[in-house]
Structure 1
């Protein structure tokens, strides 16, 4: 059997669950200011040494939340010229939907990469 046909081992249920929590921790932003950044950052820092899957998904969640936060900051500045209001709504809905999709994929053991994401955390 060649390397291209070798099956990739599925992460355990516990590993998949922690990867999912890394994505869902962004909803802490609904309760705390900057919680969307703090939640994924803390979970990723706590669990990144446990498994490479958690490390990758934690970084991906954090990078997306950094991107979303920057987009929200720009939208808030654009409120002055009215366009900021619809952009805030669009970013909020998009970030919510993509976060839920990422959490579901991570729980299924699939590595998820957010579209339109700046990745400063390597």
Structure 2
């Protein structure tokens, strides 16, 4: 059995991937603090269902809030990183999670997007996928 050597290009890609992962985790922590400071209780982090993953799930006053966290250099770039296919996956995952709640899909819930820019500022768009 031989070891597979990484090429310089694959090492660079691996470093970028690791850096992006840690930046994403930091952005989730920033968003989590914002929600907790506003009185929300964290129910789950990176909850994964059959349909996909939800970054953060909170509860406050009987409402379940599903949060997608997006990080970029600025807020405009962050919001552009959410496409229709991802919105559909997040919505399906949220419905899957809601099915386990006492009132099921009749539960009070919303999907927010937390945008985190390069300086660590956080802007929350409440009910980002709804009317």
Q: Is the pair's TM-score, using the shorter chain for normalization, greater than 0.5?
A: no
Between Structure 1 and Structure 2, the one with more helix by share is 1
Q: TM-score, length-normalised on structure 2? A: 0.30
Larger radius of gyration: 2
Q: TM-score, length-normalised on structure 1? A: 0.32
